[in-house]
A = this chain, B = another copy of it.
Amino acid sequence: MAKKQTNSLSGVKEIARRAKVSIATVDRVIHNRKGVSEATKDKINAIIKDMGFQPNILASRLASKKMNRFLVIIPQSLENEYWEASEKGIDRAYSEIRQYGITVDKLFYDLDSRESFAGVIQQVSMDAYDGVLLAPIFFDEGVRFAALCKQQGIPLVFINSDIPGEESLSYIGPHLFKSGYQAGRLINYGLKNGEVLIVNISTEIDTYHHLLRKEQGFRAYFQDHGDVGIKLLKLDIRDTSDEFIERELHAYLQQHPTIGAVFVTNSKVRAVAKYFEKFRIEKILVGYDFIRENVHYLQEGLIDFLIGQKPEEQGYTGIMHLFQHIVMGAAIEKQNFMPIDIITKENYEFYRN
């Protein structure tokens, strides 16, 4: 371990020396506070540029007693592994940046209650926060909230689902359409011809829209490869209980016994796998999300592929983007699609959500 050379040739002190002004004046220029004449400001800026000066974040954060509060609004993670992972990522990011004087407040809403979301965003006092991380499951309310943030000038990051029209700092989440497209390829690679069933399982209309985007991508794959002899079928299930799903599925498959593969557009694929297991059905099965039960059926060989959407990384990256932008003043990539991860029985043990 060597000693850091006490670098008098860098830092605000050196800038002040060169410009023949005090450190305070340099500081005013750096933070463009008023009280500096144009002439000296220009001179100092020139020196800063010339030196390639980068303020020492450590010293800066230590000296400034600034606190930054971030607000997180996501669905309840209770009994929901997907959002649990998301929250875990948020916590991980928080633990890394709390040294810099960051606070993170978390607010939760009910995934299948639009009202709960509306209630949460109603009662939050915006002016206490410097940045917001939001999972805008409910479109209309999300739009309204985004407008509010914009009006208050508070940076807003979306995770998991985007609201393209609204101006946000960034979007971090999956490319739904292309992930469906990928699923199409995976099924078609294993099944050259026959019938393929698309299953959407959801009660809420907004979440159903997300599923639809994946379905569109899935269909697009087969349109782009029209030469193959695959016929697509579709089943909507409007109840998420295992029993209901089993009944609907059973009735449908009785009618269409030649179906060779099933694509479930969300993490509910576990219910389909459960049904397959019960009736010893062997079909190609592809679904979404790295959650415990799904992985179990992956192991059992009942699910062939899972597509991962990296909820933990979404949460982590979301907080980090706020940090980079607000604290470090860095430029942030506006669109931030997660990789479309393919999880199998063979690689799940190394997977990172």
The stretch of A22-30, A108-116, A226-234, A343-351 that contacts the partner chain:
A343-351
Q: Do B1 and A68 touch across chains, with their CB atoms under 8 A apart?
A: yes
Measured in the bound complex, the distance between the Cα atoms of B351 and A61 in whole Å is 34
- Cα A3 to Cα B182 in complex, Å, equals 49
Q: Which residues of B contact A65 (CB under 8 A)?
A: 3-4, 6
Say yes or no for A214: interface residue by CB 8 A criterion.
no
Complex CA distance for A56 and B65, rounded to whole angstroms: 14
Establish whether residues B352 and A347, one from each chain, have CB atoms under 8 Å apart when the complex forms. no
Chain A interface, >50% SS class: mixed
State whether A347 and B190 are in contact (beta carbons under 8 Å apart), knowing that A58-B58, A68-B1, A339-B352 are contacts in the complex: no
**Are B58 and A62 touching (Cβ within 8 A)?**
yes
A185 interfacial by beta-carbon distance below 8 Å:
yes
A52-74 interface with B by 8 A CB criterion:
56-59, 61-62, 65-69
CA–CA, A100 and B4, complex, Å: 10
**What residues of chain A have their CB less than 8 Å away from a CB belonging to chain B?**
1-4, 6, 56-59, 61-62, 65-69, 99-101, 130, 175, 178-179, 181-182, 185, 189-190, 221, 304, 337-342, 344-347, 349-352
